[in-house]
Chain A
Amino acid sequence: MQDEKTVSAHKSDWSELMRAALHGDAAAYRRLLAEMAPVLRGIVRSRASGMGSDWCEDVVQDTLMAIHLKRGTWNPELPLRPWVYAITRHKVIDAFRRNGREISMPVDAFADLPQAEPETDPMESRDAETLIDRLPERDAALLRCLALDGHGNDECGRRLGLAPGALRVALHRALKRLAAIRREEGL
């Protein structure tokens, strides 16, 4: 019962947070992604028995990137959770396919999403540096500055000589390219 309550509380929260995010509320968006990550991890792990936790974390990150890049395909009048589940399902199936395996996942199991056990984020298995190195130099430098070195956009813009507008465009493009590279990795 307790779990169900938590789930339904999340349900409305997530849609609200995403609506706020789509209206430009970066803090809400960050909170949403942070709240989603353990839930996604729970779904992926419950499906991917036999795969290592590094492998699962790859899929979690692929899913987060897809949620980010495809958030325009969510209909804000509908609850967010089924949409998140559909994206996750797609990414899990895709990841298994890359390993030459088939997996079936129910299409409407979002109601009983497993809650992830709290624990520190494992590392992903694909070497992030290697993936980022395959991006054009400036994209790579930007992602390295933001993600691996953990600087803010102002600092990274200064280091790379990018005006705020140019940085926005460059970051968006870099993330799209990174998603494409991640998708092709291991094919």
Chain B
Amino acid sequence: MRTDQLIPVLAFDDTPPRPIAPRILGMAGLWLMAAAAIALLILGIREDLLQAMSTPVTAMKWVLPLGSAIPALLAAMALTRPVTLRVPILWTAAAVGAAAALWLLLSIMGTPADQLMPGIRGNSRVVCLTSIIGISILPLGTALWVLRDGASPAPGLSGACTGLAVGGFAAAIYALHCNEDAPLFFLVWYSLGILIVGAIGAIAGRRLLRW
């Protein structure tokens, strides 16, 4: 096939390109809400939710995951364009992550050695990790599928951002159920859950988002 044979064929294809951002928000958002509904139907919502949300330390269970998820989502959207060289919004997500890490470090240092491991282990780490990852799978798959229409300059990074975003939203949803409010617990397990989903996104993105 010569190039001058290819050009008219491309011009014949008048299927308009589909916009990416609204479809990610719509489709992945829909799956996220569906997964959230199922998870919360099984797990239940904590009874003292409003009180927990108005307690500063406990409110961080929503502030931190959403504070990294929203910039990560914006970064993933920016990275659908091949001309995007830098995504400064990622520094916001990184700053939130660094704040969480610092807080975890301070919590570890402020906890007596014999209470440290029980404090980290808590009572619900398995449910916590399973839920965050479980809620994330379908929305993450959907989001990556939509992102295949994009032209990412860095497919792995795009996938990672998408994973961190979905994982963060999933953690915030799980927090509606979870009543373990010790920073030592949620800083470890929420972060780990979000990072696992981010890693899944990065690995899948490297493969799925090549173009």
Contacts and interface: CB of A to CB of B under 8 A. Distances in A.
A183 B151 CA distance: 14
A71 B17 contact: yes
A141 interface: no
A29 interface: yes
Contacts of B5: 147-148, 150
A90 B150 contact: no
Interface stretch (B7-15, B35-43, B170-178): B7-15
A9 interface: no
Contacts of A64: 3, 6-7, 10
Interface in A66-98: 66, 68-75, 78, 82-83, 86-87, 90
Interface residues of A, number: 47
A29 B11 contact: yes
Contact of A128 (B1, B11, B14, B16): B1
A67 to B, nearest CB: 8
A171 B12 contact: yes
For chain B, give the interface size range: 20 to 34
B83 A72 contact: no
A33 B82 contact: no
B10 A68 contact: yes
Nearest to B3: A121
Contacts of A37: 3-4, 7
A147 B9 CA distance: 6
Interface in B15-35: 15-20
B46 interface: no
Contact of A72 (B1, B9, B10, B20): B20
Interface string A158-187: 000000000011011001000100010000
Contacts of B8: 30, 146-147, 150
21 contacts: A22-B17, A24-B14, A34-B7, A61-B3, A65-B6, A66-B211, A70-B17, A70-B149, A70-B150, A70-B151, A72-B19, A72-B149, A73-B81, A73-B82, A75-B81, A83-B82, A87-B82, A121-B3, A124-B1, A153-B12, A175-B9
Given A61-B1, A147-B1, A169 B6 contact: no
B191 interface: no
Interface string A8-26: 0000000000000010101
A86 B149 contact: no
Contact of A146 (B9, B149, B151): B9
B210 interface: yes
Contacts of B11: 26, 29-30, 33
Nearest to B4: A121
Nearest to B210: A183
A68 B13 contact: yes
B16 A22 contact: yes
Determine which residue in A37, A57, A70, A132 has the highest number of CB atoms from chain B within 10 A of its CB, and name it: A70
